[in-house]
Structure 1
Amino acid sequence: MTDIRFGYTLMTEQAGPKDLVRFAVAAEERGFDFEVSSDHYFPWLSAQGHSPYAWSVLGAVAHATERVGLMTYVTCPTMRYHPAVVAQKAATLQLLADGRFTLGVGSGENLNEHVVGQGWPTVKTRQDMLAEAITIIRELHTGELVEHRGEYYDVPSARIWDLPEEGVDIAVAVGGEEAVQTLAPLADHLIATEPDKELIARWNSTEGAPQIEGGQARAVGQIPICWDTDEQRAVERAHEQFRWFAGGWAVNADLPTTMGFAGATQFVRPEDVAEAIPCGPDLDAVVEAVRPYWEAGFTDIALVQVGGQTQDDFLREAAEPLLDKLRAAAG
């Protein structure tokens, strides 16, 4: 069985850039194996209150840390960022991180991509755009001069001059069967936010996809938790800041504003959130919430501690004993 790696999420929607770097250093010191960063232009809900530029933060984190893997979770390289630009900054970040960086990509959310005024395509179009974008990034990471004329992107003449020798692995967020068939053969690793065993089986059975079980590919999942010494306080905070998840991906990908998320989740109750997110001081409850991921075949699982103002307490008081429990349970 592949060793399970546990990660910490740099949630850019709930903390400013200097705090995020500080949290990253502390998370490495507490023993997390890797760190993932969201890449948003807007927070999901205004109560979260932040959204700094993830790539600047990750550059600082790369220099402030020494051991942990780093990853975007996830960048959309199709609208707000042109894929040729993503290829350049991913290569630069890999150099700064001394080989610890993985480029995590996905088809994006309207919330962040609408800001450049290019509209919001259908799901099928977004997936096709992502496939072409990955192809461009791969080509540029060869170091050769690239001239690309595709369905969605033109790259008249581009070359990346500073490239890491080890390259940059690309992890792709997928869900449905069509997305797996289109994107898995282009990726090095899988990203998903649900502990879906069938998804991993579908990935492994797709022609050209790198194998997760018994292969080099990793399946990277993520789960929110809301640790606090006071359970009721944790429930209230999770409801205030994280009830956005309740709409599901089909809804969340299309909403354009924080006000839209507030309206879409206005009838979600605190007890609804508490049923979905482990809240309070019980670390064993967190372990049981995470367990379905490794049982489904995920190799890497990142935790999201809800609430920017709680990170210092979580990292100081709960992180190490929680990691001990998770590693013991995962075997």
Structure 2
Amino acid sequence: MVSTGYFLSCEEFGPRELVRQAKMAADAGFERLWISDHYHPWNGTQGQSPFVWSVVGALSEAVDLPVTTAVTCPTVRIHPAVVAQAAATAAVQHEGRFVLGVGSGEALNEHIFGGPWPTANVRLAMLEEAVEVIRTLHRGGVVNHRGTYYTVQGAQVYTLPDEPVPIYVSGFGPKSTRLAGRIGDGYVCTMPDAGLVGQFREAGGGAKPAQGGFKVCYADSAEDGVATAHRIWPNTALPGELAQVLPQPRHFEQAARLVTPDMIAGTLPTGPDPEPYQRTLQSYVDAGFDEVYVAQIGPHQEEFFDFWRTKVDG
């Protein structure tokens, strides 16, 4: 049975609004939450980037839904030893209902200290070692680690949950998906691609959970929804590796000038007709995902949750 969750967008909303949306999601029948982890938004129109760990803590007092970071990059901007402490605390706050979703990151968020942006292969190797560091610290005791990319000296995480924090790994291509299958406790993706889910399972993922997610824009008309999505999230239609390598929101704004409303119209459900939402949700079910998360773009949050509860999920 596939469960549905709501995707809290730290790029578009501030911390108090995200907590408010989480409460509305719970009331609307969503069963779990995703939350993004960004230092910058993709563009200035989105305009937010609260520190995810502060919001995750607030969510623990607001709702009792499971929470997954979708996803944290534990390799450059924050050392994996610090991510280990943050995730352990989050798991204690959420009484075990917390999953650390991790990925190899984007230059947009990770360039801020001025170092070079590693190649994709190096980023995946860094991610693998970072996950090893986090898991070692979550087992308790004093940890000393001298690896290829990270050094940990005499570190111990004292506030630990009863069980180790599950670590799900994101993958959008064959290499990262196979890594997710090999080292992850679960899989994270934003494409309804049965081939990728199959690669995850064949690479060692087996029956472990696979999480997928997509954006929507409920509005009075499909055209209004497309216009809102095009204004706020044109980057969803950018091709290739641009999302991983462009370093500044202004670069995404420049690239997004090539994105037309017609291109956005073909990428996500918009408007008041429930059928496109149901069809997109079903595409993730058919691809083999166990959990599917939905993000509403723009200002009509209350209307979206009522629409989802009464028309899509009802």
TM-score by length of 1: 0.92
Match of residue 46 from structure 1: 44
Quick one: distance in 1 between partners of 2:44 and 2:58? 25
CA contact (8 A) 2:5 2:293 kept: yes
Are 2:181 and 1:195 equivalent residues in the alignment? no
Letter of the structure 1 residue corresponding to residue 300 of structure 2: T
CA contact (8 A) 1:79 1:118 kept: no
- Secondary structure of the residue aligned to 1:276 is coil
In the alignment, which of 23, 28, 42 is matched to residue 30 of structure 1? Answer: 28
Match of residue 125 from structure 1: 122
Following superposition of structure 1 onto structure 2, how do residues 102-117 of structure 1 map, counting pairs within 5 Å?
A: 102-117=99-114
CA contact (8 A) 2:168 2:180 kept: no
In the alignment, which of 287, 298, 308 is matched to residue 319 of structure 1? Answer: 308
CA deviations 1:233-266 (Å, max 9, x no partner) are 2111010011102223511110111111111120
TM-score by length of 2: 0.97
Match of residue 206 from structure 2: 211
Q: How much does 1:322 deviate?
A: 4.5
Letter of the structure 1 residue corresponding to residue 27 of structure 2: E
Match of residue 282 from structure 1: 273
Quick one: distance in 2 between partners of 1:31 and 1:124? 40
Are 2:300 and 1:310 equivalent residues in the alignment? yes
Q: Which stretch shifts more, 294-303 or 172-181?
A: 172-181
Letter of the structure 2 residue corresponding to residue 152 of structure 1: Y
Match of residue 80 from structure 1: 77
Q: Which stretch shifts more, 133-142 or 25-34?
A: 25-34
Match of residue 65 from structure 1: 63
CA contact (8 A) 2:180 2:187 kept: no
- Secondary structure of the residue aligned to 2:136 is helix
- Secondary structure of the residue aligned to 2:300 is helix
- Secondary structure of the residue aligned to 1:102 is strand
CA deviations 1:160-192 (Å, max 9, x no partner) are 101101221010001322223334221100111
Paired residue total: 314
CA contact (8 A) 2:277 2:312 kept: no
CA contact (8 A) 1:31 1:323 kept: no
Quick one: distance in 2 between partners of 1:323 and 1:160? 43
In the alignment, which of 283, 294, 315 is matched to residue 285 of structure 2? Answer: 294
Q: CA 1:141 to 1:296, structure 2 compared with 1: closer, same or farther past 3 Å?
A: same
Match of residue 227 from structure 2: 236
CA contact (8 A) 1:278 1:289 kept: yes
Q: How much does 1:144 deviate?
A: 1.8
Match of residue 250 from structure 1: 241
Match of residue 143 from structure 2: 146
CA contact (8 A) 2:246 2:252 kept: yes
Q: Which stretch shifts more, 104-113 or 230-239?
A: 230-239
Q: Give the gaps of 5 or more residues in structure 1.
A: 326-331
Q: How much does 1:272 deviate?
A: 1.2
In the alignment, which of 13, 16, 28 is matched to residue 14 of structure 2? Answer: 16
Q: Which stretch shifts more, 172-181 or 231-240?
A: 172-181
Q: How much does 1:324 deviate?
A: 2.0
Q: How much does 1:118 deviate?
A: 2.0
Letter of the structure 1 residue corresponding to residue 210 of structure 2: A
- Secondary structure of the residue aligned to 2:153 is strand
Q: CA 1:184 to 1:106, structure 2 compared with 1: closer, same or farther past 3 Å?
A: same
CA deviations 1:298-317 (Å, max 9, x no partner) are 1111001111x2222222x2
Are 2:176 and 1:179 equivalent residues in the alignment? yes
Match of residue 329 from structure 1: none
Q: How much does 1:69 deviate?
A: 1.1
